[in-house]
């Protein structure tokens, strides 16, 4: 990986994993805020009604924006219409994330159906990403273990700019899925996916690959790129807002620590952004107690607020810390944003 010699080697391989294990950072005991047992039991209650409400509103907005985009063809209105559609399409990333935990719905098959839909939309093959994200929660921002360290140091501003169009990440996701469909798994993939899940991974990847091929055939037969503008490509041209949300989760904070209060941030958002982000702005709370459903995260935040660093007041307040830190890390990769780890 570029710049690894200047700071750390972020690759997931046996040597780096062994190094992290020797330091006591693998599957370690993390700090947990104190919440009364009865209150936590209530917070962990799942709800089909809450899940269906969120998904219904999201899909209704997506459909409405898609209809507007379709009818705007041939006019300048197509630009904002498709941008809105792409943005609503791309927030499937946040839906797939929460659904991978199995918490939005009380009924398991509802979680699975919506997870499969959102995973395809966000181009994250479902089996691979479920296990990748499980590792992310087990070894959060542990170098050599967590493959979801989105912004390794030193920072590369140009790469972040390309991320606003899901490049090259989206193309890498598709290429990896096709490789998995052919049974070719890298050392990194095998490092966090159990052997018992590999067959499922391969067959899921084959289904995704067939869907990609079907979309290409549709475009060829229709002699138009229009089908792809509504399926797959929106994940690229609508990637900006999900990137702005995702960058706030861990960027600029500490690596290789066993306290989420030092490597994960919470921020307050307006109701529209909070809906689109599926309340993952309460990201510290989500990492400490990942089995609490999205709709209960504000209540969990209130319960542990006195044991946590102060939440950022807005998206912009978070970036007021993130941008200077990222720029400074270009010259000083070891620099981190200091966060206060309070106790109850």
Based on the fold, state whether residues 329 and 284 are members of the same structural domain.
yes
The 10s digit of each residue's pLDDT in 252-263 is: 999 999 999 999
Based on the fold, state whether residues 304 and 215 are members of the same structural domain.
no
Based on the fold, state whether residues 135 and 211 are members of the same structural domain.
yes
Closest to 129 (Cα-Cα) out of 206, 58, 193: 193
CA-CA distance, 38 to 77, in Å (whole number)?
53
Based on the fold, state whether residues 211 and 260 are members of the same structural domain.
no
Domain extent for 296: 248-344
Query: What does the block give as tokens for 310?
Result: 């102060």
SS3 state at 282 = strand
pLDDT level of residue 3 (50, 70, 90 thresholds) = very low
Give residue 270's pLDDT.
Answer: 98
* Residue 61 forms part of a structural domain: no
Percentage, residues of the chain above pLDDT 90: 93
> Given a cut of 60, is residue 5 above it in pLDDT?
no
Peptide bond preceding 11 in cis form (omega within 30 of 0): no
* Residue 55 forms part of a structural domain: no
Based on the fold, state whether residues 17 and 149 are members of the same structural domain.
yes
> Given a cut of 50, is residue 210 above it in pLDDT?
yes
Give residue 342's pLDDT.
Answer: 66
* Residue 288 forms part of a structural domain: yes
Query: What does the block give as tokens for 65?
Result: 């924006």
Based on the fold, state whether residues 186 and 299 are members of the same structural domain.
no
Give residue 2's pLDDT.
Answer: 39
Based on the fold, state whether residues 225 and 277 are members of the same structural domain.
no
pLDDT level of residue 7 (50, 70, 90 thresholds) = confident
**Are the CB atoms for 326 and 163 separated by under 8 Å?**
no
CA-CA distance, 343 to 269, in Å (whole number)?
25
* Residue 119 forms part of a structural domain: yes
* Residue 67 forms part of a structural domain: no
CB atoms within 10 A of CB 196: 7
CA-CA distance, 125 to 222, in Å (whole number)?
27
The set of residues, in sequence order, having a beta carbon less than 8 Å from that of 137 and lying 6+ positions away, is 287, 290
* Residue 34 forms part of a structural domain: no
> Given a cut of 90, is residue 272 above it in pLDDT?
yes
Based on the fold, state whether residues 176 and 131 are members of the same structural domain.
yes
**CA 217 to mean position of chain CA atoms:** 30
> Mean pLDDT, the chain, as a whole number?
95
Which of 173, 202, 233 represents a domain boundary (last residue)? 233
The 10s digit of each residue's pLDDT in 51-96 is: 999 999 999 999 999 999 999 999 999 999 999 999 999 999 999 9
Query: What does the block give as tokens for 275?
Result: 């809906």
The 10s digit of each residue's pLDDT in 278-334 is: 999 999 999 999 999 999 999 999 999 999 999 999 999 999 999 999 999 999 999
CA-CA distance, 262 to 184, in Å (whole number)?
37
> How many domains does the structure of the chain reveal?
2
For residues 98-107, average pLDDT: 97
> Given a cut of 90, is residue 1 above it in pLDDT?
no
Return the residue matching tokens 């994200």.
133
Give residue 185's pLDDT.
Answer: 97
Q: Which pTM was predicted?
A: 0.94
Continuous H helices in the chain = 14-22, 37-43, 48-71, 78-90, 92-100, 108-121, 126-138, 157-163, 169-181, 187-192, 195-222, 226-230, 234-237, 240-247, 260-263, 271-276, 283-288, 297-304, 315-329
* Residue 243 forms part of a structural domain: no
Based on the fold, state whether residues 108 and 191 are members of the same structural domain.
yes
**Distances in whole angstroms, Cα of residue 38 to Cα of each of 42, 50, 127, 291:** 6, 21, 33, 15
Based on the fold, state whether residues 119 and 6 are members of the same structural domain.
yes
Based on the fold, state whether residues 274 and 166 are members of the same structural domain.
no
Buried b (16+ CB within 10 A) or exposed e, 248-276: bbbbbbbbbbeebbbbbbbbbbeeebbbb
Which of 233, 258, 280 represents a domain boundary (last residue)? 233
> Given a cut of 70, is residue 6 above it in pLDDT?
no
The 10s digit of each residue's pLDDT in 37-49 is: 999 999 999 999 9
CA-CA distance, 316 to 305, in Å (whole number)?
21
Query: What does the block give as tokens for 115?
Result: 């997870």
* Residue 182 forms part of a structural domain: yes
């Amino acid at each position: 990986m570029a710049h690894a010699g200047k700071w750390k080697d972020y690759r997931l391989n046996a040597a780096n994993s062994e190094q992290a294990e020797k330091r006591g950072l693998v599957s370690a005991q993390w700090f947990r805020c104190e919440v009364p047992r009865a209150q936590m039991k209530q917070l962990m209650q799942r709800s089909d009604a809450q899940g269906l409400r969120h998904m219904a509103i999201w899909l209704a907005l997506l459909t409405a924006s898609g209809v507007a985009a379709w009818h705007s063809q041939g006019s300048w209105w197509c630009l904002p219409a498709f941008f809105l559609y792409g943005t609503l399409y791309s927030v499937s990333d946040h839906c797939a994330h929460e659904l991978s935990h199995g918490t939005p719905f009380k009924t398991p098959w509802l979680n699975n159906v919506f997870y499969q839909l959102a995973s395809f939309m966000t181009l994250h093959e479902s089996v691979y990403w479920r296990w990748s994200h499980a590792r992310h929660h087990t070894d959060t921002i542990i170098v050599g273990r967590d493959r979801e360290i989105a912004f390794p140091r030193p920072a590369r501003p140009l790469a972040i700019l390309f991320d606003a169009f899901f490049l090259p990440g989206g193309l890498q996701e598709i290429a990896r899925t096709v490789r998995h469909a052919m049974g070719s798994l890298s050392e990194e993939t095998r490092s966090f996916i159990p052997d018992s899940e590999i067959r499922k991974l391969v067959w899921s990847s084959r289904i995704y690959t067939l869907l990609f091929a079907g979309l290409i055939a549709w475009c060829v037969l229709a002699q138009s790129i229009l089908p792809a503008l509504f399926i797959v490509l929106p994940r690229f041209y609508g990637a900006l807002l999900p990137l702005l949300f995702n960058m706030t989760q861990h960027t600029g904070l500490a690596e290789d620590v066993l306290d989420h209060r030092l490597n994960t941030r919470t921020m307050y958002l307006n109701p529209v952004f909070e809906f689109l982000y599926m309340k993952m702005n309460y990201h510290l709370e989500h990492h400490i107690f990942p089995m609490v459903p999205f709709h209960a995260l504000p209540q969990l935040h209130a319960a542990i607020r006195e044991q946590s660093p102060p939440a950022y007041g807005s998206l912009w307040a978070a970036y007021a810390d993130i941008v200077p830190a990222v720029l400074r890390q270009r010259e000083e990769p070891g620099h981190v944003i200091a966060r206060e780890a309070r106790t109850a």
